[in-house]
Chain A
Amino acid sequence: MKLSELTIAQALAGLKERKFSCLELTYACLQKIRDVDNKINAFITVCEDNAIKQAEKADKLLKEDKNIFSLKPLLGIPYSAKDVFCTKGVKITASSKILKNYVPQYDATSIKKLNQAGAILLGKTNNDAFGFGSSTENSDFQITKNPWNLKKVPGGSSGGSAAAVICGMGLFSIAEDTGGSIRQPACFCSVSGIKVSYGRVSRYGVIAYGSSLDTIGTIGKEIKDLAYTLKIIAGKDKYDATTLPIKVPDYLNKLNRLVKDIKIGVPKEYFGKGIDKEVKLAIKKAINKLENYGIGVEEISLPHTKYAIPAYYLAGISEVSANLARYDGIRYGETRDNFGPEVKRRIMLGTYALSSGYYDAYYKKAMQVRTLIKQDFDKAFNKIDVILAPVSPFPAFDIGEKADNPLAMWLADIYTVTINPAGVPALAIPCGFTKNNLPIGMQLIGPQFTEDLLFRLGFVYQQLTNWHKKKPEIN
């Protein structure tokens, strides 16, 4: 097996046993970027020199102290970051021309924590500008291709991160999810991704989209990768007042705990009009698999699902118009005419929704509907422990297919946007392929701060199946 194809657990074992060095592992991932990224376009910036320097440092530490992994649990593990994370001295663009030359003066808290844990930043990945989109086509710089089919989108907004991970261009990626930006690309590219509970991970130093919805999570090849990385980045941060002082569980050691007493709920609203037949079938098979393992399954209802998209977007765009006011044309070098079409559209809509006379009709209304959406989940979780649902109603779509129709693009998020207003965590994992070899994914959704439970259940599924081990052939 090539080094770039290793999972974090395999890589750490190899490093501990001196089968290869941190430098060799980093070189393998950089080589992968050189080999395939001219076809995939996952990266906006590759920081090769810095990565090599860090890898050499890691090898030195490893030589000096065999027990270094207790201090630096991710020593020598190469990763990528969605280009919305501040990285000291390394350009951050948010995939928008308004930040094309902007170099941040500090590290985001999560980046700082990963680097302190010994992980090695390889580069910054492409996304829909400011996270606004579901296909990565809204990047001002490049269109990332789906590694399973280069004519298809990788999903979005974290398309570059998901594509990078499935190709082995870094062992994991750190990204951001406001309405599905981690889960939907994870689904389209066949990798695992965690959208955390709101308040679980610090957002300090991450470019804001919708501040009441934004969450930071990771994308990996398997659930263990997520367990390793979330442990590092989760927890209270004095620089983000929305983080909670709740103990961070040892996600990894908890993976093997029994889950048979768990009850799963399947929301009937997620299988209505518009869902692809093959997606529906794959989800049904996944449910059967868990049922046969001994997990209880019952149908539930989330009656306000159909209102989630309008409520989510009204809340999101309103917060966007406020958050993007900081790009005032002064502090970040470029002027506001550098915003792309989708960014402008959202700022305009948000400004309209918040303008005098419309606030109650739009923003307040959306926040009231948000209460109803949250109550749907609260009620469901009184009866069941985890909700199982598809991530996307259809597999990856063609590049260009929805590019001219903003509303159609929004509707692609139908199963993911519901989760963010409720603030609950959701895990996206691969659960099949279509006849045309496009990945299908499911999400496991739990009450607030139950990421450990979702990991355990997902881990059961990944032990029973091999979908997450399948790799694309890039031609």
Chain B
Amino acid sequence: MMKIKKIDKNTVTKISKLAYLPVSKNETVKFQKQLTDILNYVKILNELDTGEIKPTSQVTGLINVTRKDKPRKSLSQEEALSGTASKHNGYFKIKSIF
């Protein structure tokens, strides 16, 4: 089985941005090795020819479980905000995203 190339620094940085996860310099070095090791380990799956096999994403057999689109009792605005450190006038306050 072909070994995958070592995950480089740029890839770690790119993934950390995608994951919105702050990663320190030390962690970047550590993740390069650990991610490479683990990705090499999971390559064992390539021993199996899965070309025509359907993926199993769930085992219940349930399809399209729906409910009536009726309003129901939910958390109050105050309750919904009770876990945040950042609010303003009854709303979550976040950094501008545009």
Chain A positions within 8 Å of B, measured between CB atoms, are: 102-103, 105-106, 198-199, 212, 238, 241-242, 244, 304, 306-307, 310-311, 313-314, 321, 325, 328, 330-333, 336-337, 339, 341, 344-345, 347-349, 351-352, 355, 362, 364-372, 374, 406-407, 421-423, 448
Instruction: Assess the B35–A105 pair: CB atoms within 8 A.
Output: no
Instruction: Assess the A372–B53 pair: CB atoms within 8 A.
Output: yes
Residue-wise interface mask of B (13-45) relative to A, using a CB-CB cutoff of 8 A (1 in contact, 0 not): 001101111110001000100110111011011
Distance between Cα atoms of A244 and B21 in the complex (Å): 36
Instruction: Assess the A406–B34 pair: CB atoms within 8 A.
Output: yes
Instruction: Assess the B94–A369 pair: CB atoms within 8 A.
Output: no
* Besides A244-B60, A307-B47, A352-B35, 15 new A-B residue pairs in contact (Cβ under 8 A), listed by A number: A102-B83, A198-B60, A241-B65, A330-B94, A336-B21, A345-B34, A347-B21, A348-B16, A348-B23, A362-B42, A365-B46, A372-B53, A407-B37, A421-B56, A423-B59
Q: Which residue of the partner chain B has the closest CB to A317?
A: B38
Q: Which residues of B contact A333 (CB under 8 A)?
A: 83-85
Known contacts being A367-B55, A367-B56, A374-B59, is A332 close to B84, with CB within 8 Å?
yes
* Closest chain A CB from B84 CB (angstroms): 6
Distance between Cα atoms of A330 and B97 in the complex (Å): 13
Instruction: Assess the A368–B50 pair: CB atoms within 8 A.
Output: yes
Q: Which residues of B contact A311 (CB under 8 A)?
A: 45
B69 at the interface (CB under 8 A from A): no
30 chain-A/chain-B pairs, Cβ below 8 angstroms: A103-B82, A105-B82, A198-B58, A199-B59, A307-B44, A307-B47, A310-B44, A313-B42, A314-B42, A331-B92, A333-B85, A336-B21, A337-B22, A341-B27, A344-B31, A345-B31, A345-B35, A347-B21, A348-B15, A348-B19, A351-B15, A355-B18, A366-B45, A367-B55, A367-B57, A369-B45, A371-B53, A407-B41, A423-B60, A448-B59
Instruction: Assess the B18–A103 pair: CB atoms within 8 A.
Output: no
Interface residues of B in 63-85 (CB under 8 A from A): 65, 67, 75, 79-80, 82-85
Q: Which residues of A contact B67 (CB under 8 A)?
A: 238
Q: Which residue of the partner chain A has the closest CB to B17?
A: A351
Distance between Cα atoms of A406 and B41 in the complex (Å): 12
Distance between Cα atoms of A349 and B42 in the complex (Å): 11
Instruction: Assess the A369–B21 pair: CB atoms within 8 A.
Output: no
* Closest chain A CB from B91 CB (angstroms): 11
B2 at the interface (CB under 8 A from A): no
Distance between Cα atoms of A365 and B49 in the complex (Å): 10
* Closest chain B CB from A202 CB (angstroms): 13
